[in-house]
Structure 1
Amino acid sequence: MLVAFNKPYGVLCQFTDRSQPPRPTLAGFGLPAGVYPAGRLDHDSEGLLLLTDDGALAHRLTDPRHKQPKTYWVQVEGDPRPEQLRALRDGVELNDGPTRPAQARCIDAPALWPRDPPVRHRKTVPDAWLELQITEGRNRQVRRMTAAVGLPTLRLVRVAVGPYRLDRARDGAWLMPGDWLAVDRR
């Protein structure tokens, strides 16, 4: 079984949390029994999370050797300059080594659901949206990449993993935050 889930902001990519007070987890969304996340999204990131009961499929989706592209829409602070986008495309030097080259481009602000809590807007600081596609999955990688080029991330939404897309999960309609459905394996 393969499940596409739109993980809301502030939800942990696990089914239990031992911290006090406990934080929201995947257990609160009525997901099918026996599925586990194929990859992770940080609690402060949103969007497509794939879950499966098939270990081999999870491995194909998450192992960097399979180079499954992950596509993110990233709201950043600042107005991206060509050299900043070029740096993302060339690969960014992080404290744990250089990243692989990414696909990076500016996009119009997407028509997304409102985030709770909303992103803080400042009248004196511009923001912009990027579409960033990477083929690795280091801890907080997209946030670290945008920060390294001088464009701190304000909002991060994963819209695709390989051929699976959040905006096409339900016959072209978005899965809304907290919604899930079983999808065909490709």
Structure 2
Amino acid sequence: MNESGHRYFVINKPYDMVSQFISPDKVNLLGDLDYNFPEGTHAVGRLDNHSEGLLILTTNKKVTKLLFESETPHKRTYLVQVKNIVSQETLEQLRNGVSIRIKGGVDYITSPCHVELVEKPANLFPRAHELRPDLAHSWLLITLTEGKFRQIRKMMAAIRHHCHRLIRVSIEDLELGSLQPGQVMEIEETAFFEKLKITSWQEQTSILLQ
């Protein structure tokens, strides 16, 4: 048992599942996964229903503030498949920042980020509605330290490349690894905070009360 009494999980969120346990709509929910989560479990940082990959679940309500509302930025890495071939000039645009529309209808220039062209991973799990292999496409590995609403999809639209697959593969040193879609892995508390490079549970109370 963790000292705080809280529990921490990593899942590989499948395509076409929302990052919620409850919804008024008829959608696939986290509660549909084959796992008995404890009461009070919630998602930390959502993925939209068409996005896949690493999603953190926990009973600790402080994690969202420590991870995504901290003054210290935390890296999030995504594997992205887009239609058509991305040029080196376009890669540089992404690295330097592109204009996207954010909440309130405001035009926002994204922060500089790491972007590289990669080969399709050999062990990448298949997904429904795969892009036909004969159609021109590119795979990108993108690391951000900010997370505006649907930011990567908007960035891809800004460079006129439709985003076909979006898979979060890591947050800091916490990695998706070999987890298959729908699989759940529980993580010990100390390792959870160390991998995410946020404060340990023992330090949380003093920080959040400041």
**TM-score in terms of structure 2 length:** 0.79
Distance change >3 Å, CA 106–CA 64, structure 1 → 2: farther
> Which residue of 32, 45, 53 maps to 2:51?
45
Question: Any stretches of 5+ residues in structure 2 without a counterpart?
Answer: 1-6, 103-107, 195-210
Percent of aligned pairs with the same amino acid? 32
Partner of 1:112: 124
Q: Which of residues 16, 24, 36 in structure 2 aligns to 1:10?
A: 16
Q: Counterparts of 2:12 and 2:81 in 1: how far apart (Å)?
A: 18
Residues 87-166 of structure 1 mapped to structure 2, 5 A cutoff:
87-96=93-102, 97-110=108-121, 111-115=123-127, 117-121=128-132, 123=134, 125-166=135-176
* Counterpart-to-counterpart distance in 2, 1:67 and 1:119: 33
Taking a change above 3 Å as real, the CA distance of residues 54 and 152 of structure 1, as seen in their structure-2 partners, is: same
Deviation at 1:122, TM superposition (A): 6.8
Residues 1:136 and 1:64: Cα distance change in structure 2 (over 3 Å)? farther
Give me the whole-angstrom Cα distance separating, in 1, the residues matched to 2:68 and 2:15.
21
One-letter amino acid of the structure 1 residue matched with residue 154 of structure 2: R
Q: Is the 8 A contact 1:102 1:132 kept in 2?
A: yes
The separation in 2 between residues aligned to 1:62 and 1:163, in whole angstroms, is: 15
Count of residues in correspondence between the two structures:
176
- 1:55 deviates by 2.3
CA RMSD in angstroms comes to 1.4
Contact 1:143–1:153 under 8 Å retained in 2: yes
Bigger Rg over Cα: 2
Runs of 4+ in structure 1 deviating by more than 6 angstroms, as ranges, are none
Shift of 1:142: 0.5
Q: TM-score scaled by structure 1?
A: 0.89
